[in-house]
Amino acid sequence: MSIEPQTWHHGLVAQWWAEFNDDGPEIEYFRGWVEGGGGPALDIACGAGRLLVPYRAAGLDVDGCDVSADMVGACRRRLAAAGLEANVWTQAMHELDPPRAYRTVFVCGGFGLGSARARDEEALRRFHRALAPGGTLVFDVELPYSYTRHWPYWLPGGRDALPEAWPEPERRLTADGGELSVATRVVDLDPLNQIVTMELRAERHDEGRLVAEELHRLTITLYFRDELVAMLRASGFDDIDVFRGNTLEPPSRDDRFLVFAARRR
Ligand SMILES: C[S@@+](CC[C@H](N)C(=O)[O-])C[C@H]1O[C@@H](n2cnc3c(N)ncnc32)[C@H](O)[C@@H]1O
């Protein structure tokens, strides 16, 4: 396995995120944590700034970082277009080394991506170090059983169907008159290490002519609730809460998407 985080948020995929991902309930949800934290916040895996840009527009003191230089570039362009500034930089979360301490560190849709367990454990230790005493880490995760389509791949016989055939791509028109298309498929699921490997094929057409095509891989490490709680404790966090995704309510067994909030003493 490569040492570098394996993510697909580069090139055309970064363009896709920047053009087509600018809303969602996470924006208001994480804003509540940032405002409640009452001090500087760090948006880890900030991507193209879906959360960071509106927070800066609201006057919140938020920095951001992401492993993908293309996503960070898209974030900077969005900030500049809105006449805003923020300290954003390119860094993998397991190498996090921020310039200041934060009251809130948050990760929306990024924990476990491009990773492996040892790097995620290191990331949690670095999140802890990045917090001021009394500060809070907040992040969301999809549970391993979230995608029912993947269930057969947990069994040896089920994995005979991998890699999946490419599905029909999703196509969107870009602001500059081109067309982007993306398709994703599962290529492997390792149940012992709880890692799913996906591929994404992206294409750009201008006036019907193919002008760019890319193939990317993404590994996702899957975590169950209690193993994440144990990992947070082992990383030095106290006072750990688990919520149903984008709420402050306790999760039920029917939930597949959770939020973890953990405080540094
Ligand atoms: C699903 S996007 C979410 C972006 C943003 N948080 C949002 O909600 O719009 C995931 C982001 O995680 C970043 N990422 C993936 N693996 C990472 C890692 N190991 N360290 C830091 N960022 C990572 C990707 O580059 C991408 O920008």
Cα 198 to chain centroid, rounded: 15
54 lines ligand 1 (CB under 6 A): no
pLDDT grade, residue 1 (50/70/90)? very low
- State the sign of the Cα–Cα–Cα–Cα dihedral 8, 93, 77, 24: positive
Nearest residue (CA) to ligand 1, atom 13: 45
- Residue 6 above 90 pLDDT? no
219 lines ligand 1 (CB under 6 A): no
14 lines ligand 1 (CB under 6 A): no
Tell me, what's the pLDDT at 10? 87
Ligand 1: which of 2, 78, 113 to mutate, most ligand atoms within 8 Å of CB?
A: 113
111-164 pLDDT, tens digit each: 999 888 999 999 999 999 999 999 999 999 999 999 999 999 999 999 999 999
Length of the chain counted residue by residue: 265
For the CA of 93, the nearest atom of ligand 1? 20
- Residue 2 above 60 pLDDT? no
221 lines ligand 1 (CB under 6 A): no
pTM for this prediction: 0.96
For the CA of 108, the nearest atom of ligand 1? 6
Tell me, what's the pLDDT at 87? 98
For the CA of 92, the nearest atom of ligand 1? 20
Residue 114 backbone phi and psi in degrees, to 5:
60, 25
58-86 pLDDT, tens digit each: 999 999 999 999 999 999 999 999 999 99
pLDDT grade, residue 213 (50/70/90)? very high
**How many Å apart are CA 262 and CA 109, to the nearest integer?**
17
Q: What is the 3-state secondary structure (H, E, C) of 86-131?
A: CCEEECCHHHCCCCCCEEEEEECCCCCECCCHHHHHHHHHHHHHHE
CA of 198 to the centre of ligand 1 (A): 15
6 lines ligand 1 (CB under 6 A): no
Angle between helices 225-234 and 117-130 (to 10 degrees): 50
176-189 pLDDT, tens digit each: 999 999 999 999 99
Tell me, what's the pLDDT at 28? 98
